[in-house]
Structure 1
Amino acid sequence: MKKLILSAAIILGGLSTMSAQEAMPEQSATPTEETMPAETAAATETDATTATATASTQTGYSEISNDEVPSAVSDALVKAYPNATVSKAYVNENNQYQLDVKVDDKEGSLFADENGKWIQN
């Protein structure tokens, strides 16, 4: 039960982050826009994908194929979220991975280091 509640909270938190970032214009981001509440952004599924790509570019993550994700990260995902499927994977210069995942009908992003330990980003 704890895992179910935790996974729902992580996924919903990731979705609200994507919604808030989607509301920001790419060309001129000011501190006021960066702290905009997620409730002001209405995201469609296509907009959420665009926001994820934008967020990944802005945070130093570059897209990789799902095959390039280390087995430790994949194993941690399977252990924590057995029903999750990875739609996209990203890596940054610190070997931290961002996984865009879908669990049932919910989508979000998870972050892990190269050893498969979950990190908050």
Structure 2
Amino acid sequence: MKKLFITSVFALGTLTAFAQEEQAAEAQEAATEAVAQENFSEIALEEVPEAITNMIATNYPGATIDKAHKNEENQYKIEVSLEDGTSGALLLDEEGNAIEQ
């Protein structure tokens, strides 16, 4: 019975530690994303490079650009709405290539 109790305590402690590590990782990821978001400034839709608008028109027919943001590295965060009502954001370079996050 003692062994079962000790094993249970050890298992509970391990799960608690794992959960704390996961929460810390999620918090760090959210902080990193927030910092990345802060580096972007909203720009007028007319300032979006033609390469980006062409890429969106080709790959997302019928999509509407709602907002555009740009950072100092000439990266663009483009918020789009699709005809089916879904929306999302694309992170692109000035040539319209996707940027891995």
TM-score by length of structure 1 reads: 0.53
Aligned equivalents of 2:35 and 2:79: distance in 1? 10
- The CA deviation at 1:119 is 1.6
Structure 1 regions of 5+ residues with no counterpart? 1-29, 37-54
From 53, 69, 76, the counterpart of 1:90 = 69
Offset at 1:118? Answer: 1.5
Higher RCO structure, 1 or 2 (CA under 8 Å, sep 6+): 1
> What value does the CA root-mean-square deviation take over the aligned residues?
2.4
Moved over 6 A (4+): none
Q: Aligned equivalents of 1:91 and 1:35: distance in 2? A: 21
Query: What is the percentage of aligned positions where both structures have the same residue?
Result: 36
Unmatched 5+ residue regions in structure 2? 1-23
Query: In structure 2, what is the equivalent of residue 117 of structure 1?
Result: 97
Normalising by structure 2, what TM-score? 0.63
- Distance in 2 between the 1:109 and 1:56 partners? 17
Matched, 1:33 2:27: yes
Aligned residues: 75
The residue type equivalent to 1:115 in the other structure is E
